[in-house]
Structure 1
Amino acid sequence: MKILKIEKEQGYFCLEQGSEWKPIDSIDKVALLKLLDLYLENDVEMDSPDEQSLSNQAHAIIYRGIFDKLSQLVEEKSRFKDESETLYLDEMKKYAAQ
């Protein structure tokens, strides 16, 4: 599912498959949290702001901010999972042997 797209130099977001695309500058707290849930729980796509230009400055700032934070979150999630698995590996082996 695609949650962020750039079309005609404008940024848009979508919260449900097949639903209407809304301008990124109309996003509110509830929609932002829903985007976060979608990003963490599903296989989603986002147009990169580096590959396409956004002529509207407000769209560019908001879109890039959301895109960067979501991308960073995945990197941190993977790092956290790796660290926690390493941290608890000895304990998991200990209890698995019993």
Structure 2
Amino acid sequence: MELKYGDKIIEMQGVIVEVHDGCAAIDLKGRLGYLKIPLRMLITDYPLKVGQEVAFRMSFIEVLSKEVNEKYVSNLEKRNRKEGNL
């Protein structure tokens, strides 16, 4: 499916607030939220530490369709039942 709206790529910045074996958590500046990502998505020449600033570029997220992808919903429900969340 193709996006309807053109890219408006903006720079986002944040501060590392958690570092774990497989992921890092970032508080986005401007009260834009919190992001937890796998370490393999971070490019760095330095050991990671809480308090380091990061930046990345992204565009806005566009909903592609009003329809729900039932396969994903079903998989989420199965996983939640297995984990006891439902």
**TM-score with structure 1 length normalisation?**
0.23
**Structure with greater proportional helix content:** 1
Q: Which protein, 1 or 2, shows the higher relative CO under an 8 Å CA cutoff with sep ≥ 6?
A: 2
Tell me which structure has the larger Cα radius of gyration.
1
**TM-score with structure 2 length normalisation?**
0.26
**Structure with greater proportional strand content:** 2
